[in-house]
Structure 1
């Protein structure tokens, strides 16, 4: 952070951090039972310190603050309690293990040498308000780091908010989106709507939307109350007349005090560097080993030695039998209220949505299930349909359901509250569903991703698998409820009683899994992986998927027609080569022509007695006859047409005109993302026809697509992990790595390099990463097997570090049952000690996994940081394809986006891992994806 000029004034930038929000977010983010060796709970302190350190690291450069303070609440009684003795009366008691950590968070703030402020009798919000107003009057800028809606009344005229959890900056437009009015009228809307969290009464029956409508119509609260008799709706009119004094009181309760009598000034909040001795002393006392080591490196001091205490066993979690579970339907606001109260008391809730389909962009919300303790869950039916008669399906809603808007309004505060963790299984789906209905769910925990962080490579991470494996319970299957084939129904047609048992059980299972997995993350030493690589990726991917990418239907249609014509021409050529007509799309008929009629070698019949003609067989035969090669060409065009140019047209969303792929976070064992429905990662780019498909992916008018792609990232990681000096030097010198490898291996000077020799070296470079055999390389290069094996042998002679890496990695995997990326991701190798071919495959996977997994982790880290880096720019991150990120950006902002995004990508490994080889990102732009890449 930057140093402050003398005296606060124009050019100064004040950051005000909501300390209470930091504390509660930290408390709910880390595993329970995190304690010092003397038993003192420190989980919240640890999270708080990590958040402060990230804040310091993220706020450097020209826009860094000159002044900063963390503001805390002190005591529970303020002047508002004197105005209204029930103010905040329904706040749940502070968790017992959090209470002793509160003073430690103050000490932590002071150890970081950041101003730490609080005042008896005044809330933190009032101190923030006073400082913000003082800074604004002095000509400075203010950033309030909080998501507290009460603080939104301060936004405007040099004051903005930053929701650090969502990396979202909130200006006047953001306030208007939240409240329906500008910041100057937020107090009026809050006075009418009240606040159940703080027990502000407001006007009974009037929510945020109605309040905004009234204020926008009448101008302000005083005018509204004076003219309440003019309101046409009788109930609303009478409510405002009867409760006018209560509404005015509510305004006093929500109005922030900008005249708080502070005993310090803005100049006391200057940014200061921490005293290394003080900060190291505090971190050492708290026994924060990882954080102490990381910060000591940043400060350039030696890290103190902290002796590790004996690991404490996690307390067993007692679970009631599923036979005794209580699942109920909640059909009214009165029935929902106690569930919400218990959620607030606990600080977490398992939540699940039931919808009409699996496509989040079009599926309708049918119901919501909640669980607050094992064995007790509810289902809130919202849009189940009444049963029809005969062949006719009813479009009427079934009786006994809450209104959709009513339920979402009631749940909004807990679903959006920073102090309440929302737990789900594959939360990306649920957050997208809620987002489409205007509810931004955060913070979250995801049992699927917890399992993935701990057990990647061991088993899949679907709820049914996890329930059976870790709870010994088989969940209610969905198929009997929905049916199959032509008689299948959507979930809104399932009777509410059956839906309740199914949906509530899902929430119950999720909560039970969470209670098991949360402490296990710590024991498995993958908490950091989960918290830095898995969970923060969820909102990033959800936003990307909802953005989608524009696809030109006409371009796809023209390509489909062109492919059809080429396929017809190829069919004619194939028939002429075969001497007869046959179905080119039939593998068995192709086999009959090749092996029976033409007597080509290699024909094998399967159990059905028919020939099999997979691509590798045809590739081998293509060296002996033209016909197999033409069949391969025909198949490639057929796949491009059916899989892409035809199918992509079906995936264009009718409302957005864009294609919205979905990314599976827990799909690949190595951490690579998998694109589905449609798969946009496997569009072939080696053939001209395949590359042309990317021409159909276009930017909106006035925008361009920008592609940023890591250059040979896996080879760079290999050079680092295997400690290969020649490769490191080549990358440092910016050499053509494939030409350099060829020169090293084949003793050919760079100036005499031929394309054929370079191509062989490239195949070896990438083949070695995947543990390629001499047989495999021979097939790729279409050379004799002995010659290919000779290439590999010479490669290992030139670069012995690679062979050592491979041997060490296989040995580690055999001993421990997993391998790791540089960032600590575990990829389990359960078949590493198996017999036969399975062991060979497992060994090759083990060799590749740390390299490919580290590359996947790096681009994940870049994606997680990217939204904050491009915040405020007319740009959106649209796609991730292996080592590439694709953006859509306004034409006049391209030159701003590329260096900013490149900086994030090239620095994504830091500070967790320092690579010996610099990461390099290539950039391109164009009207379509083909031009940009």
Structure 2
């Protein structure tokens, strides 16, 4: 959006803090922190490109106290001191803003909000539209017909109606609203017990805070008592929340026009802080503006040519594009289809891009009334077949596995997948969002055409073949164009990181055709067995409900948290535990598990929940997910979902079927091979503990694995000081909980709860464990320190997991990040190893005619269908390939199982 004769007022302090808390701990090679600096400059450059304002100011809070501290000594008293790493980036940021030629304001004794309010009044007096760039609710009091707010983190513009929708009151009542609800971050008192809903209701009813105060005696109930008790502090709260819009400014309004950038100063700053692509832009003395607002942004964006999209409706235009594709070093390719289901989808059109800003869409099957003539789909696909099936012709796409599936539905085998922006983004930062729209916004500063923009939403949403070409063409061509532009942005970053590049080129890209084959093969499911189990589960659920009703003394909905709260805590008086975010008593699983130790009803509810989930998710749904043409269930494996590098599975999720319960094993028994074949399961044995031994180098753990003993029994012997053969089953169980619990960062409190022992006893177990395995303790401590220093951890093979919360002040968030720092290298290394194993096994299967198929991947397990007479040889070959997938300090072990169904094989 471009506003004629407009002014942008940027809340720089808000941006700085949000960027610091949102981004990973980026730094230069010399160790200077740059994450917040880069993030703010990124957002600033994007704004310049999007809005091109006539006037602009970047406003920061000045150090020291303000006039509000004189009004209220405890104003902002709860705020902790600034992080030194943030402080180190403030002056560099100021220098960069000034070098960009942008006015920067920082006035002692007042806050940035007051300066923004003053400039807003000056601008509206001149008839200028104002856009305040901030997410601060205090500034909503300034919004009117000329003034709007932009929250760049959410890409939301708020006008008068938006303020009313968000807060329940118009801008004119925002100060009154803030006075009532208070502000914990600023330590504004407010009225105890009055929240946003109540405040908005009162102000809408009475029209103002003064009118509410005048009618305070009429407010009934406890909330009325709280209002009357807080009347004395309301004037102060309102005074603190009111902006001072008459601040004396050090410059005239006309001086707020952006000046030409100081190229020499920018060049030096970008060189020092290693903003390389921005530094390259300055080689031509041009400051590019098309850059994104960051969301854990790891890549510096580049400029792109204006879009030139072509709708291809005749053979001459298609031939011209085909020639360009045949001579291109790399081209982006995308399909538009009839369905998201990869086995059912048919091609509606194809799009290409060979140069940024230039793309084409070839519609092939738009069949809405009045649709223009289009090229024949079969003819076009045959013309493209030699190119698409040529492994030597590099292709680029976003989630190309899906496009490969769709092409396979038309008999074309896509080869030559060289790059996939989904995986480029994932390898660079697995914690970010990797869909095309999010990537475009984050890395290119573009708000792309979304599917809903052209197809509509909800029940009235059109399938793509029904979308008019006037809308379909730009949408589809943009997908190819943006994919190419993203690649040009992401790939240089990967090239600068040899470890990540190798992971991308040697593991993630080659895995695409492996997963595609597994998905297309699918797995046979015995629908009759599942339906029978579903009926039995229905009877058991009914019986559990009757028992629950008898215990409660009345019938109720076991699946309703509200009714559970009433029955358990109000009627039966059971002890309450944690609360939800809305203040309600929680009925979450961990709460019920604790109650189930002493009370029968929570135990029944937990059993009911477990069986109900199995029934709805598997025994009811799986028979309906059997494909009518293949007779098999076909899951989708996702490479870019789990932050640790693990594959995930959906529609159906085959990785969450329980293995330790009878009901879960019965579901697995319904997974069967084709007649005459067997199921073979190959499972890494205790792989994460072996990885811990490798990473920590602990001699005790390495010695236990080298001796081939039961590592849990060996740990029990070490921790409890008994001979290996004297370890009891309870001691082994405790040692197993310690082994796996510490990998997942479990505290002594968590271990105590899991083992049902006193916290002191659990702490003693942990202390003895670390005394016997000092290398593990040293590894954990070193990992926490290293993660805090660089903002990420790595697997054995160089995969990174960024930890944006590793240095936050909130102890719960920070401790969760520390637990992830310890666990992620093990889970991630295990994920890398099984992917390497999948590639090795698939390579053997593709190069031979061996009668075996890889059909499932579940955590540390690979599942195969094998011809009955070949299972022994298959087991040995698969075991050898999986063991050879990595060389650790302790050898890998693989358990092989064979059976007539998945449960028997595991």
- What TM-score, normalized by structure 2, do the two folds share? 0.65
Q: Distance in 2 between matches of 1:400 and 1:358?
A: 25
Matched, 1:922 2:904: no
Q: In the TM superposition, what whole-angstrom CA distance separates every residue of 1:866-899 from its partner, at most 9, and x where no partner exists?
A: 1221231111101100000000111111112111
Instruction: Summarize the alignment of residues 190-209 of structure 1 with structure 2, pairs less than 5 Å apart.
Output: none
How far apart are 1:650 and its partner, in Å?
2.4
Partner Cα separation in structure 1 for residue 595 and residue 377 of structure 2: 62
Q: Secondary structure at the match of 1:369?
A: strand
1:719 corresponds to 2:693: yes
Which residue is 2:752 aligned to? 778
Residues 1:604 and 1:880: Cα distance change in structure 2 (over 3 Å): closer
Over 3 Å counting, the alpha-carbon distance change for 1:731 and 1:323 in structure 2 is: closer
**Contact 1:707–1:925 (Cα < 8 Å) also in 2:** yes
Question: Could you tell me which residue of structure 2 aligns to residue 625 of structure 1?
Answer: 599
Q: Which of 799, 806, 811 does residue 832 from structure 1 map onto?
A: 806
Aligned equivalent of 1:433: 406
Q: Which residue does the alignment assign to 1:634? A: 608
Counterparts of 2:438 and 2:414, CA distance in 1: 26
2-side partners of 1:753 and 1:809: how far apart? 32
Q: CA deviation at 1:748?
A: 2.3
* Alignment partners' CA distance in 2, 1:630 and 1:624: 12
Match of residue 544, structure 2, among 570, 577, 590: 570
CA distance in 2, matches of 1:540, 1:334: 37
**Residue number in structure 2 paired with 1:876:** 853
Structure 1 residues 129-278: aligned runs within 5 Å: none
Distance in 2 of aligned mates of 1:577 and 1:717: 48
Q: Which residue matches 1:348?
A: 330
In 2: Cα distance, 1:421 partner to 1:606 partner: 51
Please give the alpha-carbon distance, in whole angstroms, between the structure 1 residues aligned to 2:473 and 2:809. Answer: 48
The corresponding residue for 1:651 is 625
Check conservation: 2:803, 2:817, Cα contact below 8 A: yes
Whether the aligned pair in 2 keeps the contact of 1:595 and 1:603 (CA below 8 Å) is no
Query: What RMSD over aligned residues (CA atoms) do the two structures have, in Å?
Result: 1.9
Matched with 1:845 is 820
Aligned partner of 1:670 in structure 2 is 644
In 1, the alpha carbon distance for the partners of 2:315 and 2:897 equals: 54
The corresponding residue for 2:667 is: 693
Choose 645-654 or 739-748, whichever is displaced more: 645-654
Which secondary structure state, in structure 2, belongs to the residue aligned with residue 423 of structure 1? strand
Tell me the equivalent position of 1:616. Answer: 590
Unmatched runs of 5 consecutive residues or more in structure 1: 1-310, 389-397
The CA deviation string for residues 338-374 of structure 1, in whole angstroms up to 9 with x for no partner, is 2121122222110011111211011111111000111
Mapped pair 1:374 → 2:356: yes
Contact 2:700 2:772 in 1 (8 A): no
Shift of the 813–336 alpha-carbon distance from structure 1 to 2, 3 Å rule, reads same
Is 1:747 equivalent to 2:721 in the alignment?
Answer: yes
| 3-state DSSP of counterpart to 1:544 | helix
Task: Tell me if 1:890 matches 2:867.
Answer: yes
Confirm or deny: 8 A CA contact 1:333 1:410 kept in the other structure. no
Alpha carbons of 1:874 and 1:375: their partners in 2 closer, same or farther (altered >3 Å)? same
Please name the residue that 1:157 is paired with: none
SS of the residue corresponding to residue 535 of structure 1 reads: helix
CA distance in 2, matches of 1:633, 1:803: 38
The residue correspondences of 1:544-555 to structure 2 (distance < 5 A) are: 544-555=518-529
Match of 1:684 in 2: 658
**Cα deviations by residue, 1:696-718 (Å, 9 ceiling, x for unpaired):** 11111111111000000000010
Q: Give the Cα–Cα distance (whole angstroms) in 2 for the partners of residues 428 and 927 of structure 1.
A: 31
The answer to which of 608-617 and 379-388 deviates more is 608-617
- Matched-pair contact (CA < 8 Å) for 1:876–1:888: yes
Report if the CA contact (8 A) 2:368-2:467 is conserved: no
Q: How does 1:504-653 map to 2 (within 5 A)?
A: 504-525=477-498, 526-602=500-576, 611-653=585-627
CA distance in 1, matches of 2:745, 2:479: 42
Are 1:360 and 2:342 matched, yes or no?
Answer: yes
Q: Give the CA deviation at 1:490.
A: 0.8
Normalised by the length of structure 1, the TM-score is 0.64
C-alpha distance after superposition, 1:188-232 (max 9, x if no partner): xxxxxxxxxxxxxxxxxxxxxxxxxxxxxxxxxxxxxxxxxxxxx
On the 8 A contact 1:813/1:846 being kept in 2, the answer is: yes
Which residue number corresponds to residue 190 of structure 2?
none
For 1:758-837, what aligned pairs fall within 5 Å after superposition? 758-836=732-810, 837=812
Q: How much has 1:524 moved relative to structure 2?
A: 2.6
The separation in 2 between residues aligned to 1:607 and 1:375, in whole angstroms, is 46
- 3-state SS of the aligned residue for 2:336? strand
1:475 Cα deviation (Å)?
Answer: 0.5
- Preserved CA contact (<8 Å) 2:368 2:465: no
* Shift of residue 604, structure 1, vs aligned partner: 5.9
Residue 307 of structure 2 is matched in structure 1 by: 325
Structure-2 separation of matches of 1:605 and 1:492: 48
SS across alignment from 1:448 = helix
Q: Where does structure 2 lack aligned partners over 5 or more consecutive residues? A: 1-273, 282-287, 291-301
**3-state DSSP of counterpart to 1:886:** strand
Corresponding position of 2:830: 855
1:453: how far off? 1.2
Please give the alpha-carbon distance, in whole angstroms, between the structure 1 residues aligned to 2:830 and 2:483.
31
Q: Is the Cα contact below 8 Å between 1:431 and 1:441 reproduced in 2?
A: yes
> Partners in 2 of 1:428 and 1:488 — Cα distance?
25
1:387 equivalent in alignment to 2:369: yes
Give distance in 1, aligned partners of 2:577 and 2:815: 26
Cα distance in structure 2, aligned partners of 1:623 and 1:688: 21
- Closer, same or farther: CA 323–499 of 1 in aligned 2, 3 Å: farther
The C-alpha deviation readout for 1:150-207, integer Å capped at 9, x for no partner, is xxxxxxxxxxxxxxxxxxxxxxxxxxxxxxxxxxxxxxxxxxxxxxxxxxxxxxxxxx
Q: Superposition pairs for residues 67-78 of structure 1, below 5 Å?
A: none
Q: Matched residue of 2:745: which SS?
A: coil
Q: Which moved more, 1:780-789 or 1:526-535?
A: 780-789
Please name the residue that 1:159 is paired with: none
Q: Is the CA contact (8 Å cut-off) linking 2:882 and 2:894 kept in structure 1? A: yes
- Superposed, 1:282-321 pairs within 5 Å as none
Counterpart in the other structure of 1:905: 882
- Give CA-to-partner distance per residue, 1:89-121, whole Å, 9 cap, x none: xxxxxxxxxxxxxxxxxxxxxxxxxxxxxxxxx
Distance 2:551 2:857 in 1: 43
Q: Tell me how far 1:460 sits from its aligned partner.
A: 1.5
User: Could you give the per-residue CA deviations for residues 590-639 of structure 1, whole angstroms, max 9, x where no partner exists?
Assistant: 22221112211115665777543111111111111111111101110001
Q: Give per-residue Cα distances to partners, 1:249-307, cap 9 Å, x unaligned.
A: xxxxxxxxxxxxxxxxxxxxxxxxxxxxxxxxxxxxxxxxxxxxxxxxxxxxxxxxxxx
Please state whether the residue corresponding to 2:319 is helix, strand or coil.
helix
Work out whether residues 304 and 485 of structure 2, in 8 Å CA contact, stay in contact via their aligned partners in 1: no
Q: How far off is 1:456 after superposition? A: 2.0
In the alignment, is the contact (CA less than 8 A) between 1:455 and 1:827 conserved in 2? yes
What's the counterpart of residue 480 of structure 1? Answer: 453
**Cα deviations by residue, 1:278-337 (Å, 9 ceiling, x for unpaired):** xxxxxxxxxxxxxxxxxxxxxxxxxxxxxxxxx997796999977831111112332211
Residue matched to 2:159: none
- Residue by residue over 1:660-690, the C-alpha shift from the partner in whole angstroms, topping out at 9 and shown as x without a partner, is 1111101111110011111110111222112
Residue of structure 2 in register with 1:9 after alignment: none
1:708 counterpart (647, 670, 682): 682
Residues of 2 paired with 1:483 and 1:889: CA distance? 47
Give 1:865's aligned residue: 840
Number of residue pairs matched?
609
Distance 1:435 1:688 in 2: 39
